[in-house]
Amino acid sequence: MAYQEHQAESRRVVVEAPHTRREEVHSEAVHYPERSGVSGAALAAIVIGVIALAAVVILFVMNQQQQETANANTAQPPQTTIVQQPAQQPPVIVQQPAPATQPPVIINGQPAPASGGSTTSGPDDSTTQAAIDKKLNDDPNLASLGITTTVLNGKVTLMGSVKTPQLKAQVERAVRTVKGVKFVDNQISVG
């Protein structure tokens, strides 16, 4: 059983009355509660200390787990995925033989006209086309008409529109004089 403190407090009081005088003694026992154990402030400090210690321990354990995971990841070589792609093939170049051409037939010292089938003449048509365009653009009367010409195997097709039949004939005559023109198809409209 814990030690209990008792303290007695006594007071003396003198009471005077007209006929008597008397003295009274009052005594009172004061009882102080037990002072065993820890005070509230000390208890709060202990609780806070325990919580802080628990937090430090938890953080230490988590840090150890992270270090173990990091060590495990670095111990294993990283896995790489290799994707193989087919090798690029060089482009296939197909060479075709040039079309067989027959030597021109010469009759009486003149080349005979070609019969059947069409033969292509690459540079001759482009040269003829350029010469026709130059001829029409150099003439101020014909340049403003906007006549379109196409050349295929020496055959010239004229397209567009003019105001008079005389202009139509003038364009055709100008085109016929160009070297390389074999035939003129005049589709120019008058109107």
Question: Residue 101 pLDDT > 80, yes or no?
Answer: no
Question: What average pLDDT is seen over the chain?
Answer: 78
Taking residues 95-113, what's their average pLDDT? 63
Banded model confidence at residue 2, pLDDT cuts 50, 70, 90: very low
Identify the structural domains of the chain with CATH numbers, from first to last. 122-190 (3.30.1340.30)
Give the pLDDT score at 151: 92
Question: Residue 64 pLDDT > 60, yes or no?
Answer: yes
Question: Residue 121 pLDDT > 70, yes or no?
Answer: no
* Residue of 106, 131, 101, 107 lying closest to 119 (CA atoms): 101
Greater confidence, 176 or 16? Answer: 176
Question: Residue 11 pLDDT > 70, yes or no?
Answer: yes
The pTM of the full predicted model, rounded to 2 decimals, is: 0.37
Write the pLDDT tens digit of every residue in 28-46: 766 666 666 667 888 899 9
Torsions phi, psi for 117 (to 5 deg): 65, 155
Greater confidence, 175 or 1? Answer: 175
Give the pLDDT score at 146: 86
* Residue of 30, 39, 26, 38 lying closest to 5 (CA atoms): 30
Q: Cα separation of 154 and 124, whole Å?
A: 8
